[in-house]
């Protein structure tokens, strides 16, 4: 059961702020992000990983939720940034992030994006494939620079998550095959290049993982590969990147995992491997995204039409939907919600929360109990929308993207203004 913070008016509070007042002040749909929760997660990473281990490094996977504000907050807390496009790097630069702390990911970086990253001295590239490695090499050479590169290896591990967020299987579009002839050719190329400083390897098994077994299995595979490569090519990595994927609680039955339950056994294993092999401990990276931002965000909607189909179901339609949160239609993600202005009224009515788009699949929550007095005009709060919502939002049906408000200790400030109809045609040649 989710614990709710309810004030004397019976309104739901989040980050110390009255959510009903936020909805009145900024309109709906509205993303609300609690700065303190983001900072809290960053500090937990510092305590249980960065300060605990020598050579530990954490980068926030900013694809989860990227704004100038968020980039600034997480980097001020001592994390680096994982980016996957020129646009994400551009945003980070606008936030004043030290580019040396940026890692550039992606499975098909364009030449323009790589050039932009090289010109701006981005700290590390994670090369996903041979084509990309050659492209990075050529562009760095042209610029007369040497760039640091980690190679992304497909560990061939099936993670227990939805297939669209499982990335470590052998059939994945991501990463270099661990097959000897192929990986050795690619590693050798990187070792021989004068424009590339090959630092090591990266893997990412998938997202929203509730258990550490896939990470541990993938680590074993990478350590075996490191051992083989050392004897076959004489290469010893100075960096090892364990990716992200640490799960959070969206609904009952799920947990927000303890990061140390993943990092402690992995660090123990890496340390013992290095001792046995007689090699120095590499710099070890993690890339949490959702774990930092998901639970720190909520979305507020206004309830519109309520359609009761006797003995079948009741549809509760809100003024947003798949454009601001496509996760249900993408991978049947589940959420919890409460009527924010009736937060102390017990959930006595079962509804399907749907959006306003011309798609039957435009569903936010298939089935949830809400206050039985729910009516049009009420404010509905959907929880744990801080990751892969704002960053995945679209303008489907020409619906403007919501504003994003940051709250901290009861104080609110507008971080991203609401998109307008005019914004949506600014790129059109009239
Ligand atoms: C390479 C890489 N690192 C980190 C992440 C972050 O994953 P999560 O938000 O589940 O921590 C992703 C997510 O897709 C990823 O592809």
- What confidence tens digit (pLDDT) does each residue in 310-368 have? 999 999 999 999 999 999 999 999 999 999 999 999 999 999 999 999 999 999 999 99
Report the C-alpha gap between 289 and 287 in whole angstroms: 6
Structure token digits, residue 209: 């993982």
Mutation probe of ligand 1 site: the residue of 289, 292, 385 with most atoms within 8 A of C-beta: 289
Mean pLDDT for 393-414 is 98
- Kindly report the average pLDDT of the chain as a whole number: 96
Percentage of the chain surpassing pLDDT 90?
94
pLDDT of residue 235 exceeding 80, the answer is yes
Q: Which tens digit of pLDDT belongs to each residue from 177-194?
A: 888 899 999 999 999 999
Q: Is 357 considered catalytic here?
A: no
Catalytic residue among 42, 48, 274, 358: 358
Topology classification of domain 35-289: TIM Barrel (3.20.20)
Question: Pairing mode, if any, of strands 239-241 and 283-286?
Answer: parallel
Q: How confident is the model at residue 301 (pLDDT cuts 50, 70, 90)?
A: very high
101 CA to middle of ligand 1, Å?
17
Q: Which tens digit of pLDDT belongs to each residue from 385-394?
A: 999 999 999 9
Mutation probe of ligand 1 site: the residue of 172, 206, 245 with most atoms within 8 A of C-beta: 245
Report the C-alpha gap between 418 and 31 in whole angstroms: 10
pLDDT of residue 166 exceeding 80, the answer is no
Residue carrying structure tokens 């661990």: 178
Q: How confident is the model at residue 1 (pLDDT cuts 50, 70, 90)?
A: confident
Structure token digits, residue 248: 């959070």
Q: Nearest residue CA, atom 12 of ligand 1?
A: 244
| Per-residue confidence (pLDDT) for residue 170, from 0 to 100 | 73
What torsion do the CA atoms of 113, 119, 125, 127 make, to the nearest 10 degrees?
A: 50
| Per-residue confidence (pLDDT) for residue 169, from 0 to 100 | 64
Residue carrying structure tokens 């402690």: 264
Mutation probe of ligand 1 site: the residue of 244, 248, 262, 296 with most atoms within 8 A of C-beta: 244
63 CA to middle of ligand 1, Å?
8
Residue 212 dihedral angles phi and psi, to the nearest 5°: -90, 0
Spell out which residues line ligand 1, taking CB within 6 angstroms: 61, 64, 82, 105, 167, 204, 207-208, 243-246, 287-291
Q: How many CB atoms are closer than 10 A to CB 396? A: 16
pLDDT of residue 164 exceeding 70, the answer is no
Q: How confident is the model at residue 259 (pLDDT cuts 50, 70, 90)?
A: very high
With a CB cutoff of 8 Å and minimum separation 6, the contacts of 345 are 10, 339, 371, 372, 373
244 CA to middle of ligand 1, Å?
5
Listed by start position, the domains of the chain span 5-34+294-425, 35-289
162 CA to middle of ligand 1, Å?
14
19 CA to middle of ligand 1, Å?
30
Q: Which tens digit of pLDDT belongs to each residue from 72-100?
A: 999 999 999 999 999 999 999 999 999 99
Supply the Cα-derived Rg of the chain in whole angstroms.
23
Q: Nearest residue CA, atom 5 of ligand 1?
A: 244
pLDDT of residue 20 exceeding 90, the answer is yes
Structure token digits, residue 93: 């630069």
**Which ligand 1 atom lies nearest to the CA of residue 208?**
10
Q: Which of 322, 267, 334 is closest to 294 using CA atoms?
A: 334
With a CB cutoff of 8 Å and minimum separation 6, the contacts of 412 are 17, 22, 25, 26, 32, 405, 406
Q: Which of 389, 386, 391, 390 is closest to 15 using CA atoms?
A: 386
| Per-residue confidence (pLDDT) for residue 157, from 0 to 100 | 81
Lowest mean pLDDT among 114-128, 146-160, 283-297, 412-426: 146-160
15 CA to middle of ligand 1, Å?
26
Topology classification of domain 5-34+294-425: Lyase, Ornithine Decarboxylase; Chain A, domain 1 (2.40.37)
286 CA to middle of ligand 1, Å?
10
Report the C-alpha gap between 290 and 256 in whole angstroms: 10
**Which ligand 1 atom lies nearest to the CA of residue 202?**
1
Q: Which tens digit of pLDDT belongs to each residue from 222-232?
A: 999 999 999 99
Mean pLDDT for 401-425 is 98
What torsion do the CA atoms of 313, 317, 320, 323 make, to the nearest 10 degrees?
A: 40
Q: Which of 91, 92, 89 is closest to 113 using CA atoms?
A: 89
Mutation probe of ligand 1 site: the residue of 61, 65, 106, 262 with most atoms within 8 A of C-beta: 61
Q: Nearest residue CA, atom 13 of ligand 1?
A: 207
Q: Nearest residue CA, atom 14 of ligand 1?
A: 207
The model's pTM = 0.96
Q: How far is CA 271 from CA 50, 180, 254, 261, 326, in A?
A: 15, 25, 31, 16, 41
**Which ligand 1 atom lies nearest to the CA of residue 246?**
11
Q: How confident is the model at residue 161 (pLDDT cuts 50, 70, 90)?
A: low
Q: How confident is the model at residue 172 (pLDDT cuts 50, 70, 90)?
A: confident
Q: How confident is the model at residue 165 (pLDDT cuts 50, 70, 90)?
A: low
Provide the H-helix boundaries in 234-286: 259-277
Q: Nearest residue CA, atom 16 of ligand 1?
A: 204
């Amino acid at each position: 059961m989710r614990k709710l913070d309810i004030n004397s008016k019976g309104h739901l509070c989040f980050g110390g702020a009255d959510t009903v007042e936020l909805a009145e002040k900024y309109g709906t749909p509205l993303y609300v992000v609690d700065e303190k929760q983001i900072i809290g997660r960053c500090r937990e990473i510092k305590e249980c990983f960065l300060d605990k281990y020598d050579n530990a490094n954490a980068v926030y996977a900013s694809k989860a939720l990227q704004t100038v504000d968020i980039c600034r907050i997480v980097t001020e807390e001592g994390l680096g940034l994982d980016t996957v496009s020129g646009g994400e790097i551009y945003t980070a630069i606008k936030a004043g992030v030290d580019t040396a702390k940026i890692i550039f990911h992606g499975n098909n970086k364009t030449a323009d994006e790589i050039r932009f990253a090289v010109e701006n001295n981005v700290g590390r590239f994670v090369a996903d494939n041979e084509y990309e490695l050659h492209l990075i090499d050529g562009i760095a050479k042209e610029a007369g620079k040497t760039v640091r590169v980690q190679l992304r290896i497909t560990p061939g591990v099936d993670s227990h998550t939805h297939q669209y967020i499982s990335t470590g299987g052998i059939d994945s579009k991501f990463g270099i095959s661990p097959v000897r002839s192929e990986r050795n050719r690619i590693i050798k190329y990187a070792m021989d290049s004068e424009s590339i400083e090959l630092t090591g390897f990266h893997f990412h098994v998938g997202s929203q993982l509730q258990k550490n077994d896939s990470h541990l299995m993938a680590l074993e595979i990478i350590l075996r590969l490191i051992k083989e490569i050392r004897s076959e090519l004489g290469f010893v990595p100075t960096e090892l990147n364990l990716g992200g994927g640490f799960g959070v609680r969206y609904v009952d039955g799920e947990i927000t995992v303890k990061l140390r339950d993943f990092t402690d056994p992995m660090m123990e294993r890496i340390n013992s491997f290095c001792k046995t092999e007689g090699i120095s401990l590499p710099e070890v990276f993690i890339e949490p995204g959702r774990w930092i931002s998901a639970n720190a965000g909520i979305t507020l909607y206004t309830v519109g039409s309520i359609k009761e189909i006797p003995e079948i179901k009741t549809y509760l339609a809100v003024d947003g939907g798949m454009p601001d949160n496509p996760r249900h239609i993408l991978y049947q993600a589940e959420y919890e919600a409460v009527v924010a202005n009736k937060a102390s009224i017990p959930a006595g009515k079962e509804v399907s929360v749907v959006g306003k788009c011309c798609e039957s699949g435009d569903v936010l929550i298939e089935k949830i109990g809400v206050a039985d007095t729910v009516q049009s005009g009420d404010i509905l709060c959907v929880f744990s929308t801080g990751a892969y919502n704002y960053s995945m939002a679209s303008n489907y049906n020409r619906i403007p993207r919501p504003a994003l408000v940051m709250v901290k200790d009861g104080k609110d400030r507008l971080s991203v203004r609401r998109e307008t109809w005019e914004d949506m045609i600014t790129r059109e040649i009239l």
